[in-house]
């Protein structure tokens, strides 16, 4: 039986035939799911303690930060703890997507060199992993909400579009950073510092309405500032998000998604050479 012949053509920047590319991506949905599950199993997600740690890690971190706020600020309340846990859980979805996405292409080197498939599946799988990690914390967030007796209202349904915007942002940044990391390998070493900076500059340890006016004008530069503020308004205070907040979060999320996707698709045929 004759073997199929694979022809490697010189790399040329530009988008691949999108109709065929999307068709292949759609037909490999099961692969994305199973590949994400294999990563989780490798990280002990399949064990009871591994799943429990997904909840305990951000919860313990939130408790430590809450203690620091109480010690340094001299006062804290249940609403502030609810804000801290809710925003920290969503922040971890974004941070995990960034860190897992950065190494998704470089760690899949053997798969890329030996198999023909849409490369964008690898950063997509990284975001799926982050989503699997986020779901248990979302349940814990509702439990904390009930224990702290925070308010409920129909405005909390705004959490659905806000979460969708967060997922779009997660996909965009994972796709973009995975491509950049192919060309600049040191970028993965900077991810922990980037995520820690975002943690301190975003309305997590503080509420957006309580920052000083002198630095308030710089909040527009933070891509997740209004996203987390909107999430806190909905999940903690049971209020509708502001139109400005939703617009800001949407513009950043979809801009990063489209720019990252275009950059990735235009360069992915060069990955095999770079790896």
**Is the separation of the CB atoms in 76 and 70 below 8 Å?**
yes
pLDDT at position 10 is 47
DSSP-assigned states of every residue in 143-165: HHHHHTT----GGGGGHHHHHHH
What percent of the chain is predicted at pLDDT more than 70? 86
**Is the separation of the CB atoms in 113 and 275 below 8 Å?**
yes
The pair of three-digit structure tokens given for residue 79, joined into one six-digit string = 């609403």
Q: pTM of this prediction?
A: 0.86
**Residues 63-90: what's their mean pLDDT?**
77
**Is the separation of the CB atoms in 95 and 195 below 8 Å?**
yes
DSSP-assigned states of every residue in 11-49: P--S---HHHHHHHHHHTHHHHHHHHHHHHHHTTTTSHH
The pair of three-digit structure tokens given for residue 4, joined into one six-digit string = 């199929």
- If you ran DSSP here, which 8-state letter would residue 202 be given? S
Cα dihedral 110→115→259→104 (10° resolution): -30
pLDDT band at 69 (very low <50, low <70, confident <90, very high): low
Asked whether residue 242 carries a pLDDT value surpassing 50, the answer given is yes
- Cβ neighbours of residue 223 under 8 Å, at least 6 residues apart? 169, 252, 253, 256
> Among candidates 225, 241, 214, 123, which has minimal Cα distance to 171?
123
Instruction: Dump strand ranges (E) for the chain.
Output: none
* Spatial distance between the Cα atoms of 129 and 62, rounded to a whole number of angstroms: 22
C-alpha distances (whole Å) from 35 to each of 126, 127, 128 are 9, 11, 9
**Is the separation of the CB atoms in 125 and 100 below 8 Å?**
no
* Spatial distance between the Cα atoms of 232 and 90, rounded to a whole number of angstroms: 10
Asked whether residue 112 carries a pLDDT value surpassing 80, the answer given is no
Q: What does the domain layout of the chain look like in residue ranges?
A: 18-274
pLDDT band at 226 (very low <50, low <70, confident <90, very high): very high
* Spatial distance between the Cα atoms of 10 and 240, rounded to a whole number of angstroms: 53
**Is the separation of the CB atoms in 168 and 257 below 8 Å?**
yes
**Is the separation of the CB atoms in 149 and 72 below 8 Å?**
no
Highest mean pLDDT among 5-19, 51-65, 69-83, 109-123: 109-123
């Amino acid at each position: 039986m004759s073997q199929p012949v694979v022809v490697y053509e010189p790399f040329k920047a530009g988008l691949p035939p999108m109709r065929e590319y999307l068709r292949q991506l759609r037909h490999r949905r099961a692969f994305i799911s199973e590949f994400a599950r294999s990563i989780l199993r490798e990280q002990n997600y399949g064990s009871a303690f591994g799943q429990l740690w997904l909840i305990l890690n951000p919860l313990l971190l939130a408790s430590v930060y809450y203690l620091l706020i109480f010690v340094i600020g001299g006062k804290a309340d249940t609403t502030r703890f609810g804000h801290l846990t809710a925003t920290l859980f969503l922040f971890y979805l974004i941070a995990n997507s960034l860190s897992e996405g950065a190494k998704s292409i470089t760690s899949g080197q053997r798969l890329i060199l030996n198999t023909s498939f849409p490369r964008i599946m690898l950063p997509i799988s990284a975001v799926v992993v982050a989503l699997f990690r986020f779901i248990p914390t979302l349940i814990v967030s509702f439990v904390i909400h009930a224990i702290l007796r925070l308010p409920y209202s129909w405005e909390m349904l705004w959490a659905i579009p806000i979460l969708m915007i967060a997922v779009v942002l997660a996909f965009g940044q994972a796709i973009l950073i995975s491509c950049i990391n192919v060309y600049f390998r040191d970028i993965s070493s900077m991810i922990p510092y980037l995520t820690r900076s975002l943690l301190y500059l975003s309305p997590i340890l503080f509420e957006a309405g309580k920052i000083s006016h002198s630095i308030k004008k710089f909040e527009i530069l933070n891509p997740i500032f209004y996203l987390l503020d909107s999430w806190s308004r909905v999940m903690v205070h049971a209020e509708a998000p502001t139109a400005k907040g939703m617009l800001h979060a949407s513009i950043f999320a979809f801009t990063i998604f489209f720019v990252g996707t275009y950059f990735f698709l235009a360069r992915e045929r060069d990955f095999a050479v770079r790896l």
